[in-house]
Amino acid sequence: MENQDDGRLFRVIEELGKAGGMLCPHPENVEIVWALQERAKARDPDGQKGLVSWNEARPPFVEAEAVNRVLYLARQEKVAVYLVHISSKVALDAALAARRAGDRIFIETCAHYLLFDVDSGLDGLGKVNPPLRTADDREALWSAIERGDIDTVTTDHVHRPKQAKLGGIWAAAPGFPGMQTALCSLLDEARKRSIPIETISRLVSENPARIMGLPQKGSICVGADADFAVVDMHRPTAVSRESIQSTAGYSLLEGKSIACSVVHTFVRGKPVLQDGVLVPQAVGTGRFVPRQLTHIHPKDRV
């Protein structure tokens, strides 16, 4: 819900309260961003500082302010909030303070905030909202994962063509693809940090399904949909232009090697990826899956 005034935001919250819904707000105060972006451009008109300047244009405090504001408004109508793509320590701290006070909050971060920061050398390719932050922010997110404070990790995948990322930090469009490499890159980094594979499984599968009211997804049990990813933890993945499946045509991890590979995937027991190759017969077999959020309650945190 970027670019929304607070009156409209509150009306949405009121309707969610009536319907038993959950708010998933974009966590940035865009009015403050407009002011700060002009100042950042004046300091670095040619965008020479790249992602450092983009972080300065949309600093962590505008993310934390948005988290505080939306949680306060949602509290008035007793509406649950799923905080999407939390990127910074101060925004995380704001969310955790509200959670301790009893608010119904679920916290998401993204794979790119756990893998990259302003010093990763990505320039316009790494432009995203909220921005990639500092190494300290990245470590704060990993610490929260180890403590169990973060509920989900997602991709925020945007099918953004590489041409849209050209022209420097001010001209580049925000967002990038990330779905193909997300699972293995998370597993690889977690292994380096001695974080159990079960933790990543909960963050990317079990928890999202449970929070979003999809009981037939995210778990291996009788009655579930038999959705699986089979990962070889000892088979490296070389991320190259040729191996990228998205027609966006690039990856932030291009040229790097990930220490594991997704070998097979199954949806409702039918193969979608087999021996690393997409199965043509799987095209068109997707189904709409309805959700029910009757489970959401403060005591119900995953």
The predicted structure's pLDDT at residue 296: 60
Residue 2's nearest CA partner among 25, 34, 23, 35 is 25
Q: What is the mean pLDDT of the chain?
A: 94
- Quick: pLDDT tens for 117-174: 999 999 999 999 999 999 999 999 999 999 999 999 999 999 999 999 999 999 999 9
What pLDDT does 300 receive?
Answer: 46
pLDDT at 3 over 70: no
Whether residue 298 has pLDDT greater than 80: no
Question: Does the pLDDT value for residue 97 go beyond 50?
Answer: yes
- CA pair distance 55, 179, nearest whole angstrom: 23
Q: What is the mean pLDDT of residues 204-230?
A: 94
Model confidence at 291, in pLDDT bands (50, 70, 90)? confident
Domains defined along the chain, listed by start: 6-176 (3.20.20.140)
CB proximity list for 248: less than 8 A, separation 6 or greater: 159, 160, 161, 162, 176, 177
Beta-bridge partner residues of 274: 277
Segment 232-281, tens digit of pLDDT: 999 999 999 999 988 899 999 999 999 999 999 999 999 999 999 999 99
Q: Which run of H or of E encompasses 278?
A: strand 277-278
